[in-house]
Amino acid sequence: MPDASRTQAALTTATPTCPSPVPAGDTGAAILAQAQKWIGLAYQYGGGDQNGPTVGTNSNGSGNPGFDCSGLTVWAVHQATNGKVLLPRTAATQFQDRRWRHVPYDQLQVGDLVFWPGSSGTPSAPSHVGIYAGDQRFFNAPFTGAKLRFDSMAPGTYRYQTFIAGARITG
């Protein structure tokens, strides 16, 4: 019994590894909640759309469905808004979508889309997008060979240094 009590106490006082979503009913929290359902799923270049993961161009060779960064955001936003908002397919076109207000790093809120030039993009046409999770972290489908995960964008990190802007999704 003492071992069980210590185990229970340790589990209930441990800090969660995933950010806690903000209150229910908030679009941003809903976007993050939808996306993080897929934590650990394999990245697939060209994978995913508003209906869920797809094989895409099968970049990891598994033949299994997955998401790339923008496929994940398309799906999460579509689900979080009950199908009312369908984002364009690529990170660049999502960033350029004039329906959403761009926000700087210090004004990010949970669920904001966050953008970087990536390996083949530019500040005006980024090639990587994720979802801000709070606490200087974001959820994303990072690259071929990786799984969907949380990453840091804290000051001093590469993601902080190359951050372009966020986009606040409303709807």
| CA 66 centroid distance within chain | 14
User: Is 102's pLDDT higher than 50?
Assistant: yes
* Length, in residues, of the chain: 171
For residues 109 and 23, what is the distance between their CA atoms, to the nearest angstrom? 12
CATH T-level assignment (fold) for domain 22-168:
endopeptidase fold (from Nostoc punctiforme) (3.90.1720)
Specify the DSSP class assigned to residue 70: H
| SS3 state at 101 | strand
pLDDT of 7? 37
Report pLDDT digits (tens) over 26-60.
Answer: 999 999 999 999 999 999 999 999 999 999 887 76
Write the pLDDT tens digit of every residue in 124-170. Answer: 999 999 999 999 999 999 999 999 999 999 999 999 999 999 999 98
Residue ranges per domain, the chain?
Answer: 22-168
Residue 41 DSSP label: P
Enter the DSSP assignment of 107.
G
Question: Catalytic positions, please?
Answer: 69, 128, 140
* pLDDT value, residue 25: 56
pLDDT number for residue 17: 44
Per-residue CA distances from 130 to 94, 125, 163 (Å):
11, 15, 11
